[in-house]
């Protein structure tokens, strides 16, 4: 029976390797470690705005192959923070390949990480990131009541009247015990989970290949071990799955009430944790790093085409070969060479402009954080990512679409003046205003942010904008084939600007009245002439 269970356990891990997780993603919990962590040492912390533009949540659900809640939170933070260097690249790549080749080690490691897959393990980070509940000013009475309860109980055989003293103290203790339950509630999951984390970390540390991740890990696990006895009280109370555990919980609950062990142990543990936050986080990051590397190994195993990026020192050069978007089924790959000039894309709706811009952004992100890109090859500098792709009205602050766009692009202009290499991703710049001002302002802004070490990818429907920027931007386009009754897209990037306009033709094949089509064509010709004279 036990052997069969182990075999099924192994088969489950084997079958899941290289596969997308079938799981419920609770992002409030997943992102909690990132939200509370100070990431000042990072080259860039990706903004919520850019995450929204790149469909970050959907991307994370595709990339995440972690086994534990700790690893999941760690991976989320890793993806949101572009590192300043690649110091650990060689070590990480070695471990990723080890996980892909050494099935026994991978299964052994995944079994340990699976001990941290319960939701309660998602609260471990609160023990070293959040403020603790402070004991009340009258807390000094709790030890006195505990000792009074103990001594009166022990002396009852010698003086039966002490039973009433014991009973009175227990009644007071009962009120304090349940008052403390609300304090205990915030830590009932995290403290037992921390024990599991420490146990898992110590077992993983026995593998020589993991020791370089944190050679001083034992100093951190020793901090937790010193409080192991007190923490076990919370472990039993947090899990009453079996009848024996339920009986044990009832006995311990009675002892806790009589001697107020819960508040005494809880505030004692939190006081000691408060001075050892760094040690607790080091255990967390040790396990999280291992799990995230197995996740990358699984991602690569299940990806038909991926590459390890070449991070260069050439700030204005980007070489892209057959890059594709990982979230699109049967995505069409595209190649491009960026050198000295930025990129301006023209094309009609649904032709692939915005998807290509997102493809660049997503692959820059995964390349710089996971050292993994989706394509044949990708050479790029270390860069920060800024975007203005998906902008909407801010109704809560009474801001229009155009005003939100103005503020977003203003931030880009400010960032473009830094010495860092920046990647700016824009879709239909200033589409919230009229044609003449959109083209004029768009040209001025795009000329400004393309200077220095910056690389810009921008899409537009305005052919006139492409004419104004042809000396500063390389022009590319996406196009469609309009038949008698069909519109087909090949999603292939083509050199030069779009020469054909098919929007009115698409109206025609969809049955619009001929009078509407003729008037639209006539007005388009007049507006082309007028716009050319005004610009």
Which residues on adjacent β-strands are paired with residue 388? 426
Examine the pLDDT at 484 and tell me if it is beyond 80.
no
Examine the pLDDT at 501 and tell me if it is beyond 50.
yes
Specify the DSSP element, H or E, that contains 474: strand 473-477
Rounded CA-CA distance 214/218 in Å is 9
58 to 170, 328, 364, 367: CA distances (angstroms) = 54, 11, 16, 17
- Each residue's pLDDT tens digit, 378-413: 999 999 999 999 866 454 454 567 788 888 999 999
Which is more confident, 117 or 228?
Answer: 117
Mean model confidence pLDDT for the chain: 87
Terminal C-alpha separation, the chain? 81
Structure confidence at residue 2 as a pLDDT band (50, 70, 90): very low
The whole-number pLDDT of residue 37 equals 95
130: left (phi over 0), alpha (psi -120 to 50) or beta: beta
> Residue ranges of the alpha helices (H) in 17-158?
27-30, 32-36, 48-53, 56-63, 69-80, 89-101, 103-113, 126-129, 141-155
The whole-number pLDDT of residue 405 equals 85
Burial class (CB in 10 A: 0-12, 13-18, 19+), 90: exposed
SS3 489: strand
Which residues on adjacent β-strands are paired with residue 390? none
426 to 55, 410, 446: CA distances (angstroms) = 15, 13, 10
The whole-number pLDDT of residue 398 equals 46
Examine the pLDDT at 236 and tell me if it is beyond 60.
no
SS3 94: helix
Which is more confident, 81 or 40?
Answer: 81
Mean pLDDT, residues 227-237 taken together: 70
Residue reference for tokens 């801001």? 399
Would you state the structure tokens that stand for residue 15, as one six-digit string? 């079958």
The whole-number pLDDT of residue 128 equals 94
- Each residue's pLDDT tens digit, 161-210: 888 888 998 899 888 888 887 777 667 778 889 999 999 999 999 999 99
Rounded CA-CA distance 461/442 in Å is 12
Mean pLDDT, residues 354-369 taken together: 97
**Domain ranges, ordered by start, for the chain:** 2-133+186-297, 137-181, 310-500, 505-535
Tell me whether strands 494-495 and 473-477 are parallel, antiparallel or unpaired: antiparallel
Rounded to 5°, the CA angle 299-304-308 comes to: 65
Residue reference for tokens 């543990």? 269
Tell me whether strands 377-381 and 310-312 are parallel, antiparallel or unpaired: parallel
Distance of CA 530 to the CA centre of its chain: 48
Q: Report the topology of domain 310-500.
A: Rossmann fold (3.40.50)
């Amino acid at each position: 029976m036990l052997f069969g269970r182990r075999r099924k356990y192994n088969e489950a891990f084997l079958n899941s390797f290289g596969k997308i997780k079938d799981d419920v993603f609770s992002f409030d919990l997943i992102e909690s470690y990132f939200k509370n962590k100070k990431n000042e040492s990072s080259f860039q912390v990706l903004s919520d705005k850019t995450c929204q533009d790149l469909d970050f949540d959907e991307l994370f659900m595709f990339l995440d192959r972690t086994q534990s809640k700790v690893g999941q939170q760690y991976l989320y933070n890793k993806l949101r923070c572009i590192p300043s260097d690649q110091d650990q690249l060689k070590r990480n790549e070695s471990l990723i390949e080890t996980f892909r080749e050494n099935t026994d080690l991978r299964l052994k490691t995944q079994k340990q990480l699976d001990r941290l897959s319960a939701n309660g393990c998602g609260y471990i980070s609160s023990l070293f990131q959040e403020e603790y509940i402070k004991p009340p000013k009258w807390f000094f009475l709790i030890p006195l009541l505990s000792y009074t309860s103990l001594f009166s109980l022990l002396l009852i055989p010698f003086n039966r009247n002490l039973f009433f003293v014991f009973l009175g103290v227990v009644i007071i203790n009962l009120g304090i015990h349940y008052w403390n339950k609300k304090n205990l509630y915030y830590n009932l999951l995290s403290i037992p989970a921390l024990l599991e984390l420490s146990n898992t970390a110590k077992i993983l540390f026995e593998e020589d290949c993991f020791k370089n991740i944190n050679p001083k890990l034992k100093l951190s696990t020793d901090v937790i071990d010193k409080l192991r006895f007190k923490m076990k009280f919370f472990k039993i109370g947090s899990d009453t799955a079996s009848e024996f555990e339920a009986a044990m919980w009832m006995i311990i609950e009675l002892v806790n009430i009589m001697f107020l062990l819960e508040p005494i142990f809880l505030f004692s543990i939190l006081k000691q944790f408060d001075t050892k936050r760094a040690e607790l986080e080091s255990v967390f990051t040790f396990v999280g790093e291992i799990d995230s590397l197995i996740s990358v190994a699984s991602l690569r195993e299940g990806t038909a085409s991926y590459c390890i990026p070449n991070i260069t020192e050439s700030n204005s050069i980007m070489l892209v070969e057959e890059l594709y978007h990982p979230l699109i089924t049967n995505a069409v790959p595209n190649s491009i060479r960026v050198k000295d000039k930025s990129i301006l894309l023209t094309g009609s709706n649904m032709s692939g402009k915005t998807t290509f811009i997102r493809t660049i952004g997503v692959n820059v992100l995964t390349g710089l954080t996971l050292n993994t890109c989706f394509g044949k090859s990708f050479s790029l500098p270390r860069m920060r990512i800024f975007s203005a792709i998906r902008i909407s009205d801010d109704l809560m602050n009474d801001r229009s679409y155009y005003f939100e766009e103005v503020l977003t692009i203003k931030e880009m202009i400010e960032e473009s003046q830094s010495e860092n290499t920046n990647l700016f991703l824009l879709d239909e710049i200033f589409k919230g205003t009229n044609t003449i001002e959109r083209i004029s302002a768009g040209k001025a802004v795009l000329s400004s942010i393309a200077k220095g070490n910056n690389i810009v990818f921008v899409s537009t429907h305005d052919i006139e904008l492409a004419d104004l920027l042809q000396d500063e931007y390389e022009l590319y386009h996406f196009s469609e084939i309009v038949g008698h009754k069909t519109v087909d897209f090949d999603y292939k990037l083509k050199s030069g600007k779009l020469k054909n306009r098919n929007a009115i033709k698409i109206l025609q094949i969809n049955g619009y009245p001929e009078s509407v089509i003729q008037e639209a064509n006539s007005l388009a010709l007049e507006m082309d002439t007028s716009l050319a004279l005004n610009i």
